[in-house]
Chains A and B, each alone.
Chain A
């Protein structure tokens, strides 16, 4: 018998010992970061960067496969007892000796997770991790000239690249409201002093928003440069149009943090993606009724919100709890009680 087969036999036996739990439920108590566990990380330090941004140092579990500069990671953080998932760019170089990784988070107004991480996260806290992902990365063949075009927290994936790979000719144009809002400002200026980077800071409070046409003046050879751009949708839209107009769109790589904005309202189009049906619903009819009327096979129970027999994944959009008025937005793993939830804008129910 091979050792793998032996191991799997032993594991089966162990499962019999722990049923209905799994051996991992017990191992998690003592070693949550071990190999073979669900991927988690432990926050080891929180370093403030600016008034509203901080770098979180994370020791990932043994299952972490490592990242490529520019990639992001989804993390699940418990905020007020509720697990919320968000994606953040990795800002640490890929060859960090101690095996830690960092993300740098800017607190956005009303942002539950970002404010929690920047202001309240404590070293020692366990968080959930996904493997790093994203194709906003550097090519294997080094380009001769590079331009990084960033704004606000859009600098984070680019910082991961800057720290990871040196190029002969790198220009960065970064926009932030004021000098003290520039995340990593000291480190950027050190790179400039070492002649490893040419940097143009655009301070939008005084200079106004960056007009993409100004690039000709800021970086005259922009069209020859392999460009990585990350920032608000307005900037990226303008950049994509600009690069296309000049016929060099293949040199532009962009990363959008929030591709979809959830529209909340009163009622909306409900899509039952598994069945391929969509119907218009008002803001007062339970989604269970909406689905059943549309001929979708909906799980149901008490129909009054107490038995949890109707919970269904919310894949996109937002719903309103008819009892409390509370809005729930779609996130991976979010289940809603369809009998007491109504559409709060367009939404997608996995049925």
Chain B
């Protein structure tokens, strides 16, 4: 929706050809998917569990500062692994093909206050289908921020750097509220909706369990190390939240990423859908360790094109995808983490102020407002 459409040079035929080429990349991975991939995810899960176990064990003695540091660092990494490379990807169905009921999108539960079931709906279904479509994809600013010039400015947005900072610190709660569509559902009439109440109850249960574990049981087990362990688990959650928030912000917010109008996706073809995913996502460049710690969401573009391919394959897929970007003369938005984080934050600050150019309401958006 920027002034210049970066895909304007492509003919409809070219876009469909691009779609076929992407399908071919996908088919290649699926045909080759097998034992090695299964061994990979099993190894990661087992490593995560061992790391968490050892870290929690070390934290039993967190009264000693070196133990506190080591345990907190280990637990932070374990929580990041659980949420990113394991949880996010399993819940996408990336490993369903293994037919292992213990590593399956229908049974997996993660170390997060948002229950898997609810997250799958808002993330897999809404965000991945309607990526970056204003009014359809609430991931665009999570409903609390303005991340594109075409979104209407409101004085509330003046505070968005602060909202974004708070959201980063308590990201898992932000996501839970977001999955619940809390803002929309707190209206008097909607609050009583039994379906909403059931979902809210599920979130409450999950929060209770998570809080009890991290802030009561484990500190209690630590005895004299009660307070240091409490601080350690709080820190680990904070680190995990800030890290995941940063990575996720880099996926769709940096400069150069496109957003789309609701009208533009009417009757969208497969090729056009692919093109929207390509233009609506951004990558993070870096080392293997970096890709691992982001759950391979550093390959956000590839993830959005093929959300159900095993994450360990995104790196090899990226080479082919990037070649297509070049072939079709499209911009592959990528950069190192600090640059992308800065770019995303810069946008958050910039758009907290109104635009110079007054916004023109499209009939489509007006209808939306009436409907809302």
Q: Is A152 an interface residue (CB 8 A)?
A: no
Expressed in whole angstroms, the Cα–Cα distance for A257 and B221 within the complex equals 54
Residues of A within 8 Å of B129, CB to CB, are 301-302, 304, 306-307
Given contacts A16-B213, A78-B38, A305-B308, contact A26 B53 (CB under 8 A): yes
CA distance A308 to B106 in the complex (A): 9
Docked complex Cα distance between A25 and B53 (Å): 11
Evaluate contact between A311 and B96: CB separation under 8 angstroms. yes
Q: Is B2 an interface residue (CB 8 A)?
A: no
B155 to chain A, nearest CB (A): 36
Q: Taking the complex as formed, is B105 at the interface, i.e. its CB lies under 8 A from any CB of chain A?
A: yes
Q: Which of A13, A81, A308, A324 contacts B98 (CB 8 A)?
A: A81
Look across to chain B and name the residue whose beta carbon is closest to the beta carbon of A80.
Answer: B34
Interface size on B, residues (CB 8 A): 46
Report the bound CA distance from A172 to B243 in whole Å: 70
Count residues of A near B (Cβ-Cβ below 8 Å).
31
Whole-angstrom CA separation of A333 from B99 in the bound complex? 7
Q: Check if B37 sits within 8 Å of A81, measured CB to CB.
A: yes
Q: Which of B104-142 contact A (CB under 8 A)?
A: 104-106, 109-111, 120-121, 124-125, 128-129
The answer to whether B34 touches A306 (Cβ under 8 A) is no
Residues of A within 8 A of B218 (CB): 17
Task: Let me know if B7 is at the binding interface, CB within 8 A.
Answer: no
The answer to whether the Cβ of A296 comes within 8 Å of any Cβ in the partner chain is no
- In contact, B221 and A16 (Cβ under 8 angstroms): no
Is A17's CB under 8 angstroms from B96's CB? no
**A335 near B: Cβ within 8 Å?**
yes
Residues on B with C-beta less than 8 A from A311 are: 93, 96, 105-106
A29 interface residue, CB < 8 Å from B?
A: yes
Bound form: Cα–Cα A58–B217 in Å: 40
Chain A proximity mask over B278-295: 1 for CB below 8 Å, otherwise 0:
000000000000000000
Partner of B49, one of A26, A309, A334: A26
A3: CB under 8 A from chain B? no
> Are B128 and A19 interface neighbours, CB within 8 A?
no
CB-defined contacts of B227 to chain A, threshold 8 Å: none
**What is A's interface to B at a CB cutoff of 8 Å?**
13, 16-21, 25-26, 29, 78, 80-84, 301-302, 304-309, 311, 323-324, 326, 333-335
**Would you list the 5 A-B pairs with minimal beta carbon distance, nearest first?**
A81-B38, A308-B93, A307-B124, A20-B109, A80-B34
